[in-house]
Amino acid sequence: MRDRRGSEDPQFLEGLLASRKVVVCCGAGGVGKTTTAAALGLAAAELGRRVLVLTIDPARRLVEALGLPDTGARPARVPGPARGSVDAWMLDPKVVFEEMVHRLSSDPREVGAILSNRLYQSLRELVAGMQEYTAAEALYTFVESGAYDLVVLDTPPSRNALEFLDAPRKLSLFLDERIVGVFLPGQGAGILARHARGLVTAIFDRVFGAGFLGEVQGFLAAFSGMFGAMRAHSDAVRLLLQGPEAAFVVVTSPEPAAIEEAHFLQARLAELALPFEGYVLNRSWAYTRGLGDPAAVTLPTDSPSHVQRALQKLAALAVHERALAERDRALLAALSARGARAMATPYLGGAIEDLAGLRALAMSFLAAAPAHRDAASGADTD
C-alpha cells in the first residue's frame, strides 16, 4: 500500500479522478457509497474524461437519476457532462460470465458445448449471485477495452467487498489442474489419480445417479481449454488492482458503526497490499458553508412576538447544527490521524433523487467548488 500522510484534503479525489484508470468505492451499507460512486463519475467527466460507473444493485431512485434501464447487456449513457462522458451499468453477472466464455475461447464448438451443457445452465444461475467475482471480471474487461479513461466501481457493502478484492486469487486456486484433473478422464495415470477418480465416480453415482459424472466431465473438458487464460486473466486483475493505476476510496458516514467498518476496511486493504487512497466522510456537516448565528441578529424592539419566537427556534436549531459540525470535524480529523487523506461531502438535506443532486455532489469533489473553503479551519463562510 502506498504510504500517505494523513491530512484533511478536500481536493485529493480530484487528482485521482484526473489520473487513475480505476477508482473503487468501498464502505458499509447505507453510507451513500453508490451515490458517491455515481457522483465521482460525473466529477471525472467534468475533468474531460470518458467514464464508466459500474454499480451493483443501486436504489431505485439512483437508477432513475442515472437513466439506467431495468435490464441491459451494455452500459447506458448518462446525460449532462459538458466536457467528458459518463456511461453507467448495473452489473449483470450472467452477462459478464457468458461474455467471458466467448472471449476466452476461440473455438465456436467449444463455446457451444459449454453454453448448452446442463451444468453450465445451473452454474449460470448460480453466478447470478457471484457479484464479487463478476465485478472484478467486468472491471478488468472494461479497463482493457480502451473505451474508457476511468472506471468507477461501486462494490457490495464492505464485508462482502472483501470477497471482490480476493476473487482473483480464489479463482486461480479453483483452476488448479491438479484439483480439476480428478474429474477429467485420462488425466494422470498414477495409482493415486486412478483411485481418486474411482472414489469420485462412486460418490457421484451414489448421490446424483449414474451418468451425472459424465456430464461433469464433459463440462470440465470443454472448459479446461480456457483454464490457462482464465488464470492469467485473474492474475492480471489482481495486478491491476494492486498497481499505480488503481485507487481504493473508503466511503463512510458519521454513524459509529459505519466508522468502525471503515477502519476495518482500511486495515484489510493494507493486508491485501491494495492502494488505499483515503476516506470520504459522506453526508457531513464538517463544511458549514453559510451557517450564520441567529444570536447575532438584532430585531427591532417592536417586532411581533411570532417573529421573536421564530428567531429563538432558529437559535436552538443553530446550536444543534453547530454541534453536528463540531462532531464531524472531529471525525474528519480522526480519520486523517489514521495516516489517510480525508474529505467530507456536504449534507444536502436527504437522499439524492435526481441528476441535479448528483451533479451538486460531484462538484464538491472538485477544487473549484466552494465546499472546500472552510475545511481546515472550521470557520463559517458566506
Number of other CB atoms surrounding residue 62 within 10 Å: 23
Using CA atoms, how far apart are residues 375 and 60, in angstroms rounded to an integer? 32
| DSSP string for residues in 214-225 | HHHHHHHHHHHT
Containing 85, the helix (H) or strand (E) segment is strand 85-90
Task: Give the chain's domains with CATH numbers.
Answer: 7-367 (3.40.50.300)
Give the C-alpha distances (Å, rounded to integers) separating 182 from 171, 186, 204, 301.
Answer: 17, 9, 13, 92
In Å, how far from its chain's centre is CA 179? Answer: 32
Backbone angles phi, psi at 154, to 5 degrees: -95, 115
Each residue's pLDDT, cut to its tens digit, for the chain (382 residues) gives 444 555 667 678 999 999 999 999 999 888 988 889 999 999 999 999 999 998 876 666 677 777 776 666 788 888 876 689 999 988 777 777 777 777 777 777 777 777 776 666 666 555 544 666 677 778 888 999 999 999 999 887 766 666 766 665 666 566 555 555 555 555 545 555 555 556 655 655 565 555 666 666 666 666 666 677 777 777 888 889 999 999 999 999 999 999 999 999 999 899 889 999 999 999 888 876 556 666 667 777 777 877 777 777 777 777 777 888 888 989 999 998 888 899 988 877 766 778 888 888 898 888 754 444 343 333 333 3
Using CA atoms, how far apart are residues 246 and 197, in angstroms rounded to an integer? 43
Place of cell 473503487: 24
Backbone angles phi, psi at 26, to 5 degrees: -120, 160
pTM: 0.76
Best CA proximity match to 281, nearest among 224, 353, 340: 340
Q: What is residue 373's predicted lDDT score, i.e. its pLDDT? A: 39
- CA geometry: angle 327, 365, 87, nearest 5 deg: 130
**3-class secondary structure, 51:** strand
Q: Which three three-digit cell numbers place residue 51?
A: 467514464
- Burial label for 283, CB within 10 Å (0-12, 13-18, 19+), is buried
